[in-house]
Structure 1
Amino acid sequence: MWGVLQQQLKQLPIWMGLVILGFFLIVDIIALNKPHSVADQSLRRLDNLVYDWRFQALPPERDSRVPIVIVDIDELSLKKEGRWPWSRSKLADLVTALERQQVKLIGFDVVFSEPELNPVTQVLTHGQVSASAQAELQQLIPQLDGDTQFANVIAKQTVLGYFLHNTGGIHAGVLPAPFMKIEDKDQKRLSINFMPDFTGLLPQLADKALGAGFVSTLPDADGVMRRSPLILRYENGLYSALSLELARQYLNAPYVKLQTVKSGNQLRIESLAIGQNTFYTDESGMALIPYKGKAGSYPYLSATDILNNPNAIPILKDAIVLVGTSALGLTDLRTTPLQTGYPGVEVHANLLDAIIQSTDSYNASYYRPDWEPGLTFIILLVSGLVFIWILPRLEPAFMLAVAGGWLAVLILTNLAAWKSAHYDLPLAILVLSTFSIAVLNIGSGFLRTNTQKRELKTLFGQYVPPAHVERMLENHHLAGLEGESRHMTVLFSDIRNFTTISEGLKATKLKQMLNEFFTPITGIIFEHNGTIDKYVGDMVMAFWNAPLLDPHHAEHAIDAALAMLHKVDELKPIFVAKGLPEVNIGVGINTGFMNVGDMGSMYRRTYTVLGDSVNLGSRLESITKFYGVKLLVGEGTYDLAPQFLYRLVDKIIVKGKREPVCVYEPVCRLEDASEGRLKRVEQYNQALAHYYSREWDAAEKILRQLHKSDPERKLYNMYLERIAELRYEVLPDDWMGVFEHRSK
């Protein structure tokens, strides 16, 4: 009987190995036949890590056959030409200047969906102008119409950008004609990404431009830009990306054609034919972005240098020019397999470059061939069966050698296919299957558990209080690394005038100052249950309610902010005594739903938060100086933390948003407020109530009293100035007193 039991125990690894192999075979089949399933998403995420690693190890080696130059609206351009947005007449001058340089094509990674305000029209509408002066001014309207000037110069060589998106029924501007319309019966057969909304072009620009392409991107679930759509569907029309439209214009291709293969009742896109060129995509028209290298792989020229340089610039002759932005507050930065902070305009440049170069003799695109699923299944099945049969018969050392050798073969073969044929072959499921069967036979379950603990400690140890880490190690269910949407509070804080401060200090002094500043600030955030997201220069970002739940996250964030401001006041004389500059900070806090999780690539990952609520928190911090306050919070934070005394600061629309929000200044906790402070805040809030009711005299009277008692408070004077302007204007019936911030 004992012998039978021993025999059964010997057979257990074989049977368990078959179970493991069967599991991976089923996962492979489900992932293939049910896109977006749990199996597909899990394998895709793992293969994305492999993809990033391959790009790091073997980036494409590609020389541009046609010069692609990025004209950058950078800080220097804004300094010399004025803040963004520039007038359309200045953009017309930029296009004219580029045409003088004999460029081949011009593409704008900028969207022009709304008309520019004509200054003459504004004067006639809002000013008190005599009849004779009106007649003279009417004649000036065409001369100062920036949209017309811009439209008149974009017909020959300029391709404009627009957005296709799914953000709540927005239909702004107009769309160009689709390059192809699909019949109703084919709409369900094709899996092209459908976008129900658009932010299009100003009609007169759409009519005049040489062409137009969408600049929308669809990053992967972890926020990394590995692939980008070359075609998207709106209604029954197919639209091309900016890079695809530029390539079509450059190649003088009369059409873009879908090359498809039948798969059951479905039509799978295999590639796009752009004239004589072929560029491979996936079944939905998404293309893997063949990054030529890190940021700066293409030459950059400052827009102001183009506008003010009458001489020939050799690099621009016969070049394709992409106009984009890198100025602070305007930068379109993406996370890519090669680096974070990658300019979005270079994504278009890489795709454009690769499409132009993809000919019959050379394939610049990276893709998964149609035969890949069958090959992967065969390798998975055969290698699994061989391992299940061989490994139980080997000593542990030989098990490691065989398993390691086979893994090396899989990896090197995968790299060779990537390098030589540009095949993006999956590796994760093959490695996982091999590894799982090997682990089963050498009994390393304990090591895997220990490794998970070390990873958790490494990931969170620098960002959350040590007690939190211990709780997570003891109770894994309390926190996870997977991305999720959660109602949270985020805090942004940075040092005022840091650029000036840093320029006046030596590197050692600057390091000393930042260390002595961040150490107590971080301690305060930890004391109030916050999680440090990141430090960027002088900026610190933190959030609450992750990784551990905190039902009082808004209250704790405000307490932390007030404690930070108090600590900064304590540090000022200490810094001065040490020969360091005085430090002041601005803090912005917002509460709302955010995406939180472990994000990034194989070589760099971080536990962070993303989303519109996060962006609003950053914007609130940036406008504290505008209002002369040190701390601003959004409506969500205000609603969740009634324990504080608040001063309503403004109703605003921040850059990039359409819906107004109220922003508040937390003064102190209610129980700590003196009678004098309560009275002043109550008077101020009463003045704002009169202001929003258009009761100018009543509002002005209170504000003047407050300004007299506290002339240094910027808010009082700001609203007095607004009242002086508004009382003589004819306001629309729906005026709500909303102020729009046009810069970030």
Structure 2
Amino acid sequence: MQSRLLHLFRRHARRTAVTLIPLAFALLHISGALHLQVLERLENIIYDTRLRATMPRTLDERIVIVDIDEKSLDRVGHWPWGRDKLAALTQELFERQQVALVGFDVLFAEADGSSGLANLERLAKGPLRAQTGFKEQLARLAPTLDYDALFAQALQGRPAVLGYYFTSDRDGRTKGVLPPPALPTERLRGLPLRATSWGGYGSNIEKLANAVPAAGFFNSVTDDDGVVRSLPLLAEHQGKYYESLALAMFRTLLGLPEVHPNYVSAAPQGTHDTLHSIVLRQHGRELALPVDDRLATLIPFRGPGDVSGGSFRYVSASDVLEGKLPANNLQGQLILVGSTTPGLLDLRVTPVGRTYPGVETHANMLSAFLDGKSIVRPDYAVGFDAAQLLCAGVLLALALPALSATYAVLLSLGVVAALAGLNLWLYLAQGLAMPLATVIVMAVLAFALNMVYGYFVESRSKRELAALFGTYVPPELVDEMVKQPENYSMQATSRELTVMFCDMRGFTAMSEQMEPLQLQALLNDVFSQLTHIIRSHRGTIDKYMGDCVMAFWGAPVPTAEHAQLAVQAALDMERAVEQINLLHRERGLPEIGIGIGLNTGTMCVGDMGSDIRRSYTVIGDAVNLGSRLEGLSKHYGVRTVVSETTHSQVPQFAWQELDRVRVKGKAQAVVIYTPMSPLDTLSPARASEISTWQHFLAAYRAQDWTQCGTLLTDLLHNAPHSSLYGLYANRVQALRGQPFDPGWDSATSFDTK
């Protein structure tokens, strides 16, 4: 098995190398040495498609979005609203609706001066400072006109979370007050974490920031194609790590557990540490939230988004302010206050919508936290990608060159389906967004290059091979040859083969009696039948020479049983001629005879000839002997004459030895035979006749003419018309009067071809 695989590899080494080219480029891409932007775009397309296909599209009744929508702006007024209205909104949510948590996806970076309190205070210190009772009235009214204080009072002591944002301002401009870091530096190992880093921020005024237990940033991560697919859970600013709005709300809901790092490696690596997850710890209990190398997680969108998306319930902020909702209608629910109004610029491009409300991205993250589900691209994604590339690439490179086009398509589709299935399972069952685009493109390109190489290079050589050998070799042998075209060529080689010469008897007489066209048709018909028999026994047609056909076995496709196939072909050709003669007698046409000579030996086979005309043929002494044997068939009165080398390789046939002969051009005598039939079909009478004949030959070579005469009498009695027995009867008669010759080898010499 191992040697066979090694042979296949060597045979298809070039095609395998070509198939490995996409793998090499793919590995360069994922290593960062070669940046192929098209693969990154395709990866995003695959991720977005998979996300949309697997979204639950169900309503999460735990989370409600209080929407500052067009209706609210129309009824309450343009944004920003006075903080007194926000205080009233907060009071309504906590007191009358009994909600569990409120998060604000809006920013309160400026003090609210809409009440005019600041102007009144300036008047009290200026033009109206002498006005009797003005200061006293202002002191009584101030608490009701300090809208920021009213809002802060409404938030105080309640599970409310404010939002803010970070900026990448080079000047590091800041505004408002940041909350305490969620992950203090003393919980780190002395190295900064790999995280999204920001230079500036815009946060809430101090009075409001101090009134809430937590605040979180509402920044998202925009990919290179402008699409928001993930939200960072932690972000870095001046060496400190702050939490997102969704994480702040989730921690507030849990009672603000501590945030701890869960490192990828046991010891710091390089200049930064990398986290596998962040861990929330409280009262001995832990909850891990997986993150990627940016301390972010992919947003597990529930549906297409917006009021009609069906993922979350939307309530108009004006309806809450005006008390239109029944009491306790939102009891126990988690509230996110945000806006879907285009004018407030909180719409984002996401995989599930081009104008997706930013507030709903945080709702999706909060929903995932509550369900204990997340989607993350882990730190080992590159290693996983390299592993699947190597497995798929090597498999295709080794297997595709050895497969037919149909099986190559099936294998490639199977590999792609297996990779896609594994990727989908990891996504759905493990929450892992593993790369897929690169390996899919690699597999497709590997298949395409393999097919192109096979068609334009290997198929061309196969077509050339078929064109070269198609007129000589049976189609089934050509089919075998094109499977390994590199093993066959027209170059001359020496090997053991079996050659056949078949001559048509009576051709001269027929040419005198028949019209040329009639003779041509008869000759073509006979040669067609004989050629079909030769090719059906894996023989190669060498050439047609007038009324003679020459063929050989064992080349170009090596065949161990070439001698047996040639003998069987000769016997089938004899029977075919008998059938042809039956038809000729019925049609009044002249009968034909054939003489066949077979010899096995070492011959030179290859493309030979001149610059003008060449052919695939055999030459050599063994070929010449085959030709001489064909000429002896008429002399011995048999149809087929076979040399002793051919006879020795076909023991499964019954043979009748003919003679020892010394043909022209050969000093050494050879024994010749004629095939009778397969041993298992030989009749007892025929077997007895052959046995008697062997005794005769022994007596003949011993020069025992009396015994020869006795045995010949028996043979001629059973076969009175045998030309062979008649030939030897004449020889015995001529030799009877000669003295015993101790140097006689009984060989018959022939001086003509």
TM-score, normalising length: structure 2: 0.53
Q: 1:445 to 1:215 in 2, by over 3 A?
A: farther
Aligned ranges for residues 134-283 of structure 1 at < 5 Å?
134-135=134-135, 138-139=138-139, 140-155=141-156, 156-168=158-170, 169-182=172-185, 188-262=191-265, 264-265=269-270, 266-275=272-281, 276-283=286-293
**1:588 alignment partner in structure 2:** none
**1:45 alignment partner in structure 2:** 41
How far has the Cα of 1:400 moved from its partner?
2.8
Aligned ranges for residues 346-495 of structure 1 at < 5 Å?
346-358=360-372, 364-369=373-378, 372-443=381-452
Question: What secondary structure is seen at the aligned counterpart in 2 of 1:179?
Answer: coil
Question: What secondary structure is seen at the aligned counterpart in 1 of 2:208?
Answer: helix
Q: 2:192, 2:239 within 8 Å by CA — same for their partners in 1? A: no
How far has the Cα of 1:250 moved from its partner?
0.6
How far has the Cα of 1:214 moved from its partner?
0.8
Which structure 2 residue ranges, 5 or more long, are not aligned? Answer: 1-8, 456-753
1:122 aligned residue (116, 119, 137): 119
Q: 1:444 to 1:356 in 2, by over 3 A?
A: farther
Q: 1:67, 1:315 within 8 Å by CA — same for their partners in 2? A: no
Q: 2:278, 2:291 within 8 Å by CA — same for their partners in 1? A: yes
How far has the Cα of 1:179 moved from its partner?
1.8
1:19 aligned residue (18, 21, 32): 21
**2:356 alignment partner in structure 1:** 342
Q: 2:220, 2:232 within 8 Å by CA — same for their partners in 1? A: yes
Q: 1:184, 1:236 within 8 Å by CA — same for their partners in 2? A: no
Q: 2:120, 2:138 within 8 Å by CA — same for their partners in 1? A: no
How far has the Cα of 1:443 moved from its partner?
3.2
**Cα distance in 2, alignment partners of residues 294 and 433 from structure 1:** 32
Question: What secondary structure is seen at the aligned counterpart in 2 of 1:142?
Answer: helix
**2:64 alignment partner in structure 1:** 69
How far has the Cα of 1:75 moved from its partner?
1.2
**2:131 alignment partner in structure 1:** 132
Q: 1:289, 1:350 within 8 Å by CA — same for their partners in 2? A: yes
Amino acid at match of 1:435: V
**Cα distance in 2, alignment partners of residues 67 and 113 from structure 1:** 29
**Cα distance in 2, alignment partners of residues 106 and 116 from structure 1:** 21
Q: 1:85 to 1:317 in 2, by over 3 A?
A: same
RMSD over aligned CA atoms reads 3.0
Q: 1:75, 1:328 within 8 Å by CA — same for their partners in 2? A: no
Q: 1:28 to 1:44 in 2, by over 3 A?
A: same
**Cα distance in 2, alignment partners of residues 257 and 42 from structure 1:** 38
Aligned ranges for residues 565-714 of structure 1 at < 5 Å?
none
> Any idea what the Cα deviations from partners look like across 1:526-584, whole Å, max 9, x if unmatched?
xxxxxxxxxxxxxxxxxxxxxxxxxxxxxxxxxxxxxxxxxxxxxxxxxxxxxxxxxxx
How far has the Cα of 1:165 moved from its partner?
1.4
Q: 1:438 to 1:146 in 2, by over 3 A?
A: same
Q: 2:263, 2:276 within 8 Å by CA — same for their partners in 1? A: yes
Q: 1:258 to 1:293 in 2, by over 3 A?
A: same
Amino acid at match of 2:411: V
**1:320 alignment partner in structure 2:** 334
Q: 2:319, 2:325 within 8 Å by CA — same for their partners in 1? A: no
How far has the Cα of 1:43 moved from its partner?
4.7
**Cα distance in 2, alignment partners of residues 20 and 327 from structure 1:** 48
Q: 2:263, 2:277 within 8 Å by CA — same for their partners in 1? A: yes
Which structure 1 residue ranges, 5 or more long, are not aligned? Answer: 1-6, 32-36, 359-363, 447-744
Q: Does 1:293 align with 2:286?
A: no
Q: 1:159, 1:242 within 8 Å by CA — same for their partners in 2? A: yes
How far has the Cα of 1:21 moved from its partner?
1.9
**Cα distance in 2, alignment partners of residues 195 and 432 from structure 1:** 36
Q: Does 1:54 align with 2:64?
A: no
How far has the Cα of 1:136 moved from its partner?
5.2
Amino acid at match of 2:118: T
Q: 1:159 to 1:184 in 2, by over 3 A?
A: closer
How far has the Cα of 1:417 moved from its partner?
2.2
How far has the Cα of 1:246 moved from its partner?
0.5
**1:723 alignment partner in structure 2:** none
How far has the Cα of 1:331 moved from its partner?
4.6
Using the TM superposition, name which of 334-343 and 261-270 deviates more.
261-270
Question: What secondary structure is seen at the aligned counterpart in 2 of 1:316?
Answer: coil
Amino acid at match of 1:289: I
**Cα distance in 2, alignment partners of residues 230 and 49 from structure 1:** 24
Q: 1:72 to 1:367 in 2, by over 3 A?
A: same
Q: 2:58, 2:303 within 8 Å by CA — same for their partners in 1? A: no
Q: 1:107 to 1:38 in 2, by over 3 A?
A: same
Q: 1:405 to 1:205 in 2, by over 3 A?
A: same
Q: 2:62, 2:333 within 8 Å by CA — same for their partners in 1? A: yes
**Cα distance in 1, alignment partners of residues 322 and 299 from structure 2:** 34
Q: 1:356 to 1:234 in 2, by over 3 A?
A: same
**2:103 alignment partner in structure 1:** 107
Amino acid at match of 1:286: A
TM-score, normalising length: structure 1: 0.54
How far has the Cα of 1:257 moved from its partner?
1.7
Q: 2:293, 2:379 within 8 Å by CA — same for their partners in 1? A: no
Amino acid at match of 1:107: G
Question: What secondary structure is seen at the aligned counterpart in 1 of 2:350?
Answer: coil
Q: 1:351 to 1:245 in 2, by over 3 A?
A: same
**2:76 alignment partner in structure 1:** 81
Q: 2:48, 2:351 within 8 Å by CA — same for their partners in 1? A: yes
Amino acid at match of 1:270: H
**Cα distance in 2, alignment partners of residues 382 and 310 from structure 1:** 62
**Cα distance in 1, alignment partners of residues 225 and 454 from structure 2:** 28
Q: 2:163, 2:245 within 8 Å by CA — same for their partners in 1? A: yes
**Cα distance in 2, alignment partners of residues 267 and 8 from structure 1:** 47
Q: 1:241 to 1:384 in 2, by over 3 A?
A: same
Q: 1:163, 1:200 within 8 Å by CA — same for their partners in 2? A: yes
Q: 1:105, 1:320 within 8 Å by CA — same for their partners in 2? A: yes
Q: 1:16 to 1:163 in 2, by over 3 A?
A: same
Using the TM superposition, name which of 288-297 and 116-125 deviates more.
116-125
Q: 1:47, 1:427 within 8 Å by CA — same for their partners in 2? A: yes
Question: What secondary structure is seen at the aligned counterpart in 2 of 1:340?
Answer: strand
Q: 1:226, 1:336 within 8 Å by CA — same for their partners in 2? A: yes
Amino acid at match of 2:245: L
Q: 1:369 to 1:326 in 2, by over 3 A?
A: closer
**Cα distance in 2, alignment partners of residues 135 and 444 from structure 1:** 95
Using the TM superposition, name which of 102-111 and 304-313 deviates more.
304-313
**Cα distance in 2, alignment partners of residues 61 and 413 from structure 1:** 23
**Cα distance in 2, alignment partners of residues 385 and 375 from structure 1:** 15
Q: 1:59, 1:292 within 8 Å by CA — same for their partners in 2? A: yes
Amino acid at match of 1:274: L
Q: 2:191, 2:273 within 8 Å by CA — same for their partners in 1? A: no
How far has the Cα of 1:44 moved from its partner?
4.0
Amino acid at match of 1:312: P
Q: 1:161, 1:214 within 8 Å by CA — same for their partners in 2? A: yes
Percent of aligned positions that are identical: 33
Question: What secondary structure is seen at the aligned counterpart in 2 of 1:283?
Answer: coil
